[in-house]
Structure 1
Amino acid sequence: MSLILFAIPAFFALILLELAIDSRRKTGFYRVNDSINSLTIGVYSRIAGLARAAIPLSFYPLVLDALAIYEVSATWYWWVIAFVLYDFCYYWNHRFGHEISFFWASHVVHHSSEEYNLTTALRQTSTSLLGWIFYLPLALLGIPVEMLITVGALNLIYQFWVHTRHIPKLGWYEWLFVTPSNHRVHHAQNQCYIDKNYGGVFILWDRLFGTFQEELDDEPPLYGIRKALSSWNPLWANVHVYSQLAKDSWHTARWGDKWRVWFGRTGWRPEDVSQSHPIAKADLSRFKKFDIPLSIHERLYATLQHIGILLITLVFLLNVSALTPIMKWSVAGFIFVSGMTLAAFMEHRVWAHVTEWIRQLAMLGVIISGALPTWLTTSLLVIIAISLPMLWQRKRTSTLVLE
């Protein structure tokens, strides 16, 4: 079982700790709608990862068996070598993820939040299909699959803690390792911070290849992306750049540009498309975070629903190997739809009230079927018992509707 799954309780404990610090300091680095959006995107990524994992785990062993130079043993020094080299490969994977349009379309979801807190760390892509290519050199070296998976998980776990604004610069540690300070730079959209600090664990690669930028005292980071997402929809967060690339590729007249749109430098657009379908450049001097105000009752309702989604996801991930294909698709589908309907609720979509009632009744039906563990049944019954009156009350009192 993945180390990341075991690390999830620690992730949430640290998020609660940061929330407490945020509340005590009154810094306002958390918003309910943004945090739920990030966590839902993280849920999507873990579920989609079950299917994506089959791709590298098919090709990597083939290269390992056919072309490996060494027969690597599980000695401590090989673990250290594998860990360091994995981060080197990660640097290039991450750099391509920013500098080439097709890879950016997948990676952009991680940067689309306009907040920066520990929930942002869990905001991972569901659409990465080619990232495994960057790790094939490790197969040539002879790094076993189990070692690759383990050091990859450790690399990702390390990156969690650097997504915070509550930790200042860390002195000498800044020279060797990725820290909250130099990773805040990476998530900023300020011009001086764009495309900097790609390392996962070691910042040495950025210093070596000229992509390092220190966090400046007189240039506070503005988080998010230049073409703001302006939505809480987790599916749209994963596909909106693909959509724009497809439109540009369709509208441009030159066949060479139809290809370059996808694999050219991020941000490049054909001249004819730029003229016929212009996209306004972001004015950072007038930057304003996307937000749709929620009442206290709406925030409580959304939080309860998300807790229910997280609990269902946890049981799903722990028991996925024992489920039939139909059950896997059904549960995964319910989780994906739940994430989108909850996002619609937070955006005050006119149809979200109806879909939330349907979702609540669907959960009640599953509970009645007796297919869930007792603790999950009890938890969901409590959530439903609290939620239904709140949903009814919102229908009677809500006046703000967006479409």
Structure 2
Amino acid sequence: MAFYATGETMNYILYAIPFFLALIGLELLLDRWRGVSTYRFSDTINSLSAGVLSTTVGLLTKAVGLLTYTLAWQQLALFELSASSLWIWLFAFLMYDFCYYWNHRLGHERNVLWAAHSVHHQSEDYNLSTALRQTSTGFIFGWIFYLPMAVAGVPPLVFLTVAALNLLYQFWVHTRHIAKLGWFEWLFITPSNHRVHHAQNAVYMDRNYGGVFILWDRLFGTFQEELDDEPVIFGVTTPLASWNPLWANAQFYVALWRDAVRAQSRWDKLRIWFMRTGWRPADVAAKYPQSKVDLSQFVKFDVPLNRAQKVYAALQFSLYVVGGTLLMGLGADLSLAQMLLGVAWMAVGLFVIGIWLENRPSAIRLEVLRLLLNPPALWLALQLGLLPAQPLLWALLLGYSLLSLGALFWTPRGQAALPA
């Protein structure tokens, strides 16, 4: 699932957040009722952190897709399509999914596109929180794939709306609680055929790219049915092995950059970014070999945390969910300076929570620093008009900071699981 929210579309996602959270709660109840475990605490927080970061960064990057699409529609449209026609909406919905298929497919088949999209596949679990695990860098190239809709004359409002509907549809297919759905499997993306898409098993790799319709996969030879004798193993072949949402977005870009620097050939330094996913210059591959996970011995990445550490992380993360939702609600009313402050505050907080979940020795020092940075961040927010100037805000911040510091030093911590 790949999308960057823009304008009205971001509002659709904002309105859907309570339903997303309610359905995640329902899935957790189903887990308990059926005696299974499709959620792990840190993985879920990491997926949600990536989603919160993506929507927040989208405040800064949304103009890339919106402006390029609008400009192409104004200058290059071959037809004048009316937003008042139901047939135009149906055509746009179908065409969007077709463009999405190719965006999604090439997102798996080209190195630089996979660097962005891989974020969505890094979770080694599969549940509704995985649907919200989104990239923050997809805006760089993703807009290109939807320009044919602008050339065809699809108005921006129609484009934004069908894009949001496509995205919302994809939420429910990220579950292990729904089995195959008979004839529905032949036409639409379902939980079964999307589980295949998230697998790292060789038989399932790079299959089932559609957003709403599975027809494109059947037509272009990329369909694979979920097999009863081949249980899906979720994740990516180069594990993230981290709960840090910033590193999740940077991991594959860094790997490509390192290989580009190491390559002797200038041509290889350039083309590595656009070659098929996994391609590496021969000299680099020989000198710096990479080993892949043996799926017969696959073990999910995890870092042991006690109950108190989990409760502290959950309470702190909830603050950033509220903050991210507030920023989304303000949306287009924010100035560039306000957006930059909001994105920086969110990124720092989510980064530190990730370090906390990894139980690194530096976690407490960084958490204290995060709390100490909140007063100057609030002062800047007041100066920029992002928040109303009220004494109550300072009282709430002081109370929150003191309670957090008290809880931080009260919370027992086990032995550090990862280096600083």
TM range (shorter): over 0.9
In structure 2, how many angstroms separate the alpha carbons of the residues matched to 1:112 and 1:58?
Answer: 30
Q: Structure 2 regions of 5+ residues with no counterpart?
A: 1-7
Deviations along 1:230-284, one digit per CA (max 9) or x if unpaired, are 0011011001111111111111112222222111110111111111111112211
Partner of 1:399: 415
Distance 1:174 1:300, change over 3 A: same
TM-score with structure 1 length normalisation? 0.94
**Displacement of 1:52 after TM fit?**
2.0
Q: Helix, strand or coil for the counterpart of 1:138? A: helix
Partner of 2:240: 229
1:118 equivalent to 2:128? Answer yes
2:303–2:417 Cα contact (<8 Å) kept: no
Q: Percent identity?
A: 49
Q: Structure 1 regions of 5+ residues with no counterpart?
A: none
Partner of 1:65: 74
1:308–1:380 Cα contact (<8 Å) kept: no
In structure 2, how many angstroms separate the alpha carbons of the residues matched to 1:39 and 1:191?
Answer: 28
Instruction: Identify the match of residue 104 of structure 1 among 105, 114, 134.
Output: 114
Following superposition of structure 1 onto structure 2, how do residues 339-350 of structure 1 map, counting pairs within 5 Å? Answer: 339-350=350-361
In structure 1, how many angstroms separate the alpha carbons of the residues matched to 2:401 and 2:323?
Answer: 14
1:311–1:376 Cα contact (<8 Å) kept: no
In structure 2, how many angstroms separate the alpha carbons of the residues matched to 1:53 and 1:241?
Answer: 23
Name the stretch that deviates more: 269-278 or 252-261: 252-261
Q: Helix, strand or coil for the counterpart of 1:262? A: coil
In structure 1, how many angstroms separate the alpha carbons of the residues matched to 2:321 and 2:413?
Answer: 28
2:305–2:414 Cα contact (<8 Å) kept: no
Partner of 2:366: 355
1:239 equivalent to 2:250? Answer yes
Distance 1:380 1:180, change over 3 A: farther
Partner of 1:36: 45
1:311 equivalent to 2:322? Answer yes
**Displacement of 1:384 after TM fit?**
5.3
Q: Helix, strand or coil for the counterpart of 2:203? A: helix
In structure 2, how many angstroms separate the alpha carbons of the residues matched to 1:273 and 1:115?
Answer: 32
The amino acid across from 1:6 in the alignment is Y
Aligned residues, how many?
402
Instruction: Identify the match of residue 170 of structure 1 among 144, 165, 181.
Output: 181
In structure 2, how many angstroms separate the alpha carbons of the residues matched to 1:387 and 1:11?
Answer: 28
The amino acid across from 2:75 in the alignment is A
Partner of 2:407: 390
Distance 1:207 1:326, change over 3 A: same
In structure 1, how many angstroms separate the alpha carbons of the residues matched to 2:157 and 2:223?
Answer: 32
Partner of 2:35: 26
Instruction: Identify the match of residue 188 of structure 1 among 195, 199, 209.
Output: 199
1:187–1:224 Cα contact (<8 Å) kept: yes
1:145 equivalent to 2:156? Answer yes
Q: What's the RMSD between the two structures over aligned residues? A: 2.2
The amino acid across from 1:220 in the alignment is P
Partner of 1:200: 211
The amino acid across from 2:345 in the alignment is F
Name the stretch that deviates more: 355-364 or 13-22: 355-364
TM-score with structure 2 length normalisation? 0.90
**Displacement of 1:365 after TM fit?**
6.8
